[in-house]
């Protein structure tokens, strides 16, 4: 045991150092269904912390669909999709998602993270090149590493910088033997800003690059009925790959890739999480189908989400808070130092508001914040209560006057 302790001393030392900097993650335990109000560590609080954009996580129709599917198919397929893990429900979900996203085909995965890990290494390899926004999600970063490809990071949403870097690597009029991939988040999850997708489409066409967008925080939020960033900019057929998640606005879990049939056919043969990891569980698939059908039929919840977002942003900016450059229901209340953000979050919680502090390494050092997440489930009274508490805590901590 002494030898073991010696081998792991570096872990204890690093954890102690992180603790001194206020960087240890303190988990809070949810004891109720996800909604506008939830029970956390035994206390009922207003929820401004989850990605439940449309309030679907506890929707009766989704729960009914999951229960019905369990009665018919059981819980889990207990196999990968290519052996014995594909049920009629899996095919139905992919069919419904393709209709919703207006693409030729869809392939589903166990999570949005898995969808990125599956796609990038399957499409590019040694000798190819990836141009990636510097603030892309960790799943994109990890997928790029797995692909063993040269990765060139361009300044956040800066298409001029991107083109300059493309030119330095891919001169025009010279035949290319390698493949090129431009990859970006659609909505950036920490700042709430939106990718300049129309400009990226032009660059992908100019330099014959594959264009991939991770729309995890755009689905259910942007576009008609929440179809996402491609629909938002009316770029159907111009973006090669759309990565999606079903754990946020859709309210369940799972990921998918939407695009041309030839891309999806290739992923069915080469995407390792599809080939070597068990399929999505039965109740999750059934609930996802129900959620997609709800979005196809009505934009009521999407409109409510944006109404809440506009109201809250106007009011909190009026109080004097800095919310950065957000253009979406992600509202970062910028505080700077992580210990201040943690203290702010603690006092919010004490006053019935659940909104967590976000610090390094999730965001750069010195840019800690409270990330407030809007939902269609919130009432105006919920928003007013949150604003009142933010105002009181902000004044007591000297953030606003």
Backbone angles phi, psi at 262, to 5 degrees: -65, -35
Residue 169 shares a structural domain with residue 308: no
Q: Which of 217, 232, 304, 313 is catalytic?
A: 217
How do residues 86-106 score in pLDDT, each as one tens digit? 999 999 999 999 999 999 999
Write out the H or E segment, with its range, that includes residue 99: helix 88-101
- Tokens read off for 112: 């949005």
Residue 187 shares a structural domain with residue 314: no
What domain range includes position 306?
A: 24-53+299-396
Give catalytic status of residue 232 as yes or no: no
Cα(270)–Cα(209) distance, integer angstroms: 20
pLDDT of residue 5: 66
Give the mean model confidence (pLDDT) for residues 285-311: 98
pLDDT over threshold 70, residue 175:
no
Residue 139 shares a structural domain with residue 278: yes
How do residues 5-20 score in pLDDT, each as one tens digit? 688 899 999 999 888 8
Q: Is residue 18 part of a domain?
A: no
Cα(258)–Cα(250) distance, integer angstroms: 16
Give catalytic status of residue 189 as yes or no: yes
Q: Which of 132, 139, 147, 189 is catalytic?
A: 189
DSSP, res 194: B
The CATH number assigned to the domain holding 41 equals 3.90.1150.10
How do residues 181-197 score in pLDDT, each as one tens digit? 999 999 999 999 999 99
Cα(182)–Cα(167) distance, integer angstroms: 13
CA distances from 32 to 38, 59, 348 (A): 6, 14, 19
Decide which of 248, 281, 297 is a domain's last residue: 297
Residue 147 shares a structural domain with residue 247: yes
- The residues, ordered by sequence, that sit 6+ positions from 65 with a Cβ below 8 Å of its Cβ are 286, 287, 289, 290
**Global pTM?**
0.93
CA torsion sign for 371, 374, 380, 381 is: negative
135 and 185 Cβ atoms separated by less than 8 Å: yes
Q: Is residue 17 part of a domain?
A: no
Residue 75 shares a structural domain with residue 186: yes
| Residue at token pair 């999850």 | 189
Mean pLDDT across the chain, nearest whole number?
95
Q: Is residue 5 part of a domain?
A: no
285 and 305 Cβ atoms separated by less than 8 Å: no
Q: Which of 248, 304, 313, 378 is catalytic?
A: 248
Q: Is residue 67 part of a domain?
A: yes
Tell me the percentage of the chain whose pLDDT exceeds 70. Answer: 97
pLDDT of residue 171: 64
pLDDT of residue 4: 64
Decide which of 297, 318, 343 is a domain's last residue: 297
Residue 306 shares a structural domain with residue 289: no
Residue 257 shares a structural domain with residue 369: no
Give the mean model confidence (pLDDT) for residues 254-280: 97
Q: Given pLDDT bands bounded at 50, 70 and 90, which one contains residue 177?
A: low
How do residues 364-382 score in pLDDT, each as one tens digit? 889 999 999 999 999 999 9
Decide which of 233, 263, 297 is a domain's last residue: 297
Cα(295)–Cα(225) distance, integer angstroms: 6
CB atoms within 10 A of CB 69: 22
Residue 44 shares a structural domain with residue 64: no
Total domain count for the chain? 2
Give catalytic status of residue 248 as yes or no: yes
């Amino acid at each position: 045991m002494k030898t073991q302790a010696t081998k792991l001393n570096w872990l204890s030392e690093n954890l102690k150092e992180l603790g001194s900097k206020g960087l240890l993650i303190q988990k809070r335990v949810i004891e109720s269904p996800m909604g506008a109000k939830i029970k956390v560590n035994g206390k009922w609080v207003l929820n401004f912390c989850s990605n439940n954009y449309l309030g679907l996580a506890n929707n009766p129709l989704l729960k009914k669909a999951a229960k019905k599917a369990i009665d018919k198919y059981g819980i889990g397929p207990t196999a990968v999709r290519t052996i014995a893990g594909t049920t009629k429900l899996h095919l139905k979900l992919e069919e419904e998602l393709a209709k919703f996203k207006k693409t030729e085909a869809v392939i589903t995965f166990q999570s949005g993270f898995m969808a990125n890990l599956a796609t990038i290494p399957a499409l590019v390899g040694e000798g190819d090149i990836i141009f990636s926004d510097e603030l892309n999600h960790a799943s994109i970063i990890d997928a790029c590493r797995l692909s063993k490809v040269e990765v060139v990071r361009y300044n956040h949403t800066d298409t001029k910088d991107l083109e300059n870097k493309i030119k330095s690597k891919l001169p025009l009029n010279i035949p290319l033997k390698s493949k090129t991939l431009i990859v970006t988040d659609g909505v950036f999850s920490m700042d709430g800003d939106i990718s300049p997708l129309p400009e990226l489409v032009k660059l992908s066409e100019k330099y014959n690059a594959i264009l991939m967008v991770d729309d995890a925080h755009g689905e259910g939020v942007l576009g008609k009925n929440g179809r996402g960033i491609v629909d938002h900019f009316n770029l159907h057929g111009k973006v090669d790959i759309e990565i999606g998640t079903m754990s946020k606005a859709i309210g369940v879990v799972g990921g998918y890739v939407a695009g041309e049939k030839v891309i999806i056919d290739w992923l069915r043969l080469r995407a390792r999480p599809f080939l070597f990891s068990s399929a999505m569980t039965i109740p999750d698939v059934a609930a996802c189908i129900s959620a997609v059908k709800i979005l196809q039929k009505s934009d009521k919840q999407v409109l409510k989400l944006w109404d809440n977002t506009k109201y809250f942003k106007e009011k909190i900016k009026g109080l004097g808070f800095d919310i950065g450059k957000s253009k979406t229901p992600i509202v970062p209340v910028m505080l700077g130092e992580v210990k201040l953000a943690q203290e702010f979050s603690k006092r919010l919680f004490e006053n019935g508001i659940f909104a967590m502090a976000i610090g390094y390494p999730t965001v750069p050092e010195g840019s800690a914040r409270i990330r407030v997440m809007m939902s269609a489930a919130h009432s105006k009274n919920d928003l007013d209560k949150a604003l009142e508490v933010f105002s009181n805590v902000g004044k007591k901590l000297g953030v606003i006057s």
